[in-house]
A and B are shown apart, each in its own frame.
Chain A
Amino acid sequence: MVLSKAVPSSSHDASLDCTFASRYVRDPLPRFKLPEESIPKEAAYQVINDELMLDGNPRLNLASFVTTWMEPECDKLIMAALNKNYVDMDEYPITTELQNRCVNMIAHLFNAPIGEEETAVGVGTVGSSEAIMLAGLAFKRKWQNKRKTEGMPYDKPNIVTGANVQVCWEKFARYFEVDLKEVKLKEGYYVMDPEKAVAMVDENTICVAAILGSTLTGEFEDVKKLNELLTEKNKETGWDVPIHVDAASGGFIAPFLYKDLVWDFRLPLVKSINVSGHKYGLVYAGVGWVVWRSKEDLPDELVFHINYLGADQPTFTLNFSKGSSQIIAQYYQFIRLGFEGYKNIIENCMENAKVLRQGLEQTGKFNIVSKEVGVPLVAFALKDRTYYTVFDISENLRRFGWIVPAYTMPADAQHIAVLRVVVREDFSRSLAERLVSDIHKVVQELDEQVKHVTKVVTTQVDITARGGGTDGALVHKSEQEIAEEVITYWKKLVSHKKTSGVC
Chain B
Amino acid sequence: MPENTIPKEAAYQIINDELMLDGNPRLNLASFVTTWMEPECDKLMMAAINKNYVDMDEYPVTTELQNRCVNMIAHLFNAPLGESEAAVGVGTVGSSEAIMLAGLAFKRRWQNKRKAEGKPYDKPNIVTGANVQVCWEKFARYFEVELKEVNLREGYYVMDPEKAVELVDENTICVAAILGSTLNGEFEDVKLLNDLLIKKNSETGWDVPIHVDAASGGFIAPFLYPELEWDFRLPLVKSINVSGHKYGLVYAGIGWVIWRSKEDLPEELIFHINYLGTEQPTFTLNFSKGSSQVIAQYYQLIRLGFEGYKNVMENCQENAMVLKEGLERTGRFTIVSKDNGIPLVAFSLKDHSRHDEFELSHHLRQFGWIVPAYTMPADAQHITVLRVVIREDFSRGLAERLVLDIEKVLRELDALPPNGKSMKRSADVANCHAALANGHVAKKLETDKKTNAIC
| Chain A residues within 8 Å of B, Cβ to Cβ | 29-39, 41-42, 44-45, 47-49, 51-52, 54-56, 58-59, 61, 63-64, 66-71, 73-88, 90-95, 98, 105, 108-109, 126-130, 133, 137, 155, 167-168, 170-171, 174-177, 276, 278, 284-286, 301-302, 304, 306-310, 318-324, 326, 328, 331-332, 334-342, 344, 391, 394, 403, 405-407, 497, 499-503
Contact = CB atoms under 8 A, between A and B. Distances in A.
A39 B306 CA distance: 11
Contacts of B299: 44-45, 48
B285 A88 contact: no
9 closest A-B pairs by beta carbon, nearest first, are A336-B11, A307-B451, A44-B303, A45-B40, A73-B12, A38-B308, A91-B23, A56-B58, A405-B276
A33 B75 contact: yes
A340 B4 contact: yes
Contacts of A39: 302-303, 305
B454 interface: yes
A319 B372 CA distance: 22
B286 A129 contact: yes
A323 B8 contact: no
Given A105-B1, A323-B252, A84 B12 contact: no
A77 B16 contact: yes
B46 A79 contact: yes
Contacts of B305: 34-39
A33 B269 CA distance: 27
B452 interface: yes
A55 B5 contact: no
Contact of A67 (B37, B50, B143, B144): B50
A332 B274 contact: no
B288 A276 contact: yes
B227 interface: no
B2 interface: yes
Interface string B33-46: 11111101111111
Contacts of A49: 44, 47
* Best-buried of B3, B30, B142 by chain A (most CB within 10 Å): B142
B243 interface: yes
B49 interface: yes
B50 A35 contact: no
Given A304-B137, A310-B449, A285 B290 contact: yes
Nearest to A72: B8
A83 B72 contact: no
B367 interface: no
Most buried by A among B72, B268, B273, B302: B302
A170 to B, nearest CB: 7
Interface string B100-121: 1000100000000000000000
Nearest to B7: A336
A66 B5 contact: no
A336 B9 CA distance: 9
A325 B421 CA distance: 40
Nearest to B253: A323
B40 A58 contact: no
B289 A285 contact: yes
A124 to B, nearest CB: 13
Interface in B39-91: 40-55, 58-62, 65, 68, 71-72, 75-76, 83-84
Contact of B5 (A93, A307, A331, A340): A340
A285 B9 CA distance: 23
Interface string B438-455: 000000000001111111
Interface residues of B, number: 121
A405 B275 CA distance: 9
A274 B96 CA distance: 21
Nearest to B375: A307
B122 interface: yes
Contacts, number: 361
A336 B213 CA distance: 42
Interface string B392-416: 0000000000000000000000000
B287 A328 contact: no
A282 to B, nearest CB: 12
A130 B138 CA distance: 14
Given A84-B25, A323-B290, 14 more contacts: A33-B75, A34-B306, A49-B47, A66-B52, A128-B288, A130-B286, A284-B49, A285-B53, A285-B54, A304-B453, A320-B95, A337-B5, A338-B4, A406-B277
B273 A48 contact: no
A79 B76 CA distance: 31
B62 A306 contact: no
Contacts of B22: 84, 91-95
B251 A32 contact: no
Nearest to A33: B75
A334 B3 CA distance: 10
A229 B286 CA distance: 33
Interface of B: 1-6, 8-9, 11-12, 14-16, 18-19, 21-23, 25-26, 28, 30-31, 33-38, 40-55, 58-62, 65, 68, 71-72, 75-76, 83-84, 93-97, 100, 104, 122, 134-135, 137-138, 141-144, 243, 245, 251-253, 268-269, 271-277, 285-291, 293, 295, 298-299, 301-309, 358, 361, 370, 372-374, 449-455
B286 A332 contact: no
B372 A310 contact: yes
Given A284-B49, A320-B135, A406-B277, A338 B43 contact: no
Nearest to A60: B58
A175 B285 contact: yes
A127 B92 CA distance: 13
Given A38-B305, A92-B22, A285 B52 contact: yes
Contact of B58 (A63, A71, A174, A302): A63
B50 A59 contact: yes
B62 A55 contact: yes
Contacts of B35: 83
Contacts of A284: 49-50, 290
26 contacts: A32-B75, A32-B84, A34-B301, A44-B303, A45-B43, A48-B65, A52-B47, A54-B60, A58-B58, A82-B45, A87-B252, A90-B372, A91-B23, A94-B22, A126-B286, A129-B286, A155-B122, A174-B268, A286-B290, A301-B141, A307-B453, A307-B454, A310-B361, A318-B138, A340-B3, A406-B277
A319 B274 contact: no
Most buried by B among A38, A79, A80: A38
A174 B284 CA distance: 12
A266 B292 CA distance: 39
A338 B94 contact: no
Contacts of A41: 38, 40-41, 303
Contacts of B62: 52, 55
B274 A84 contact: no
B83 A32 contact: yes
A53 to B, nearest CB: 8
A95 B19 contact: yes
Contact of A81 (B19, B65, B71, B370): B19
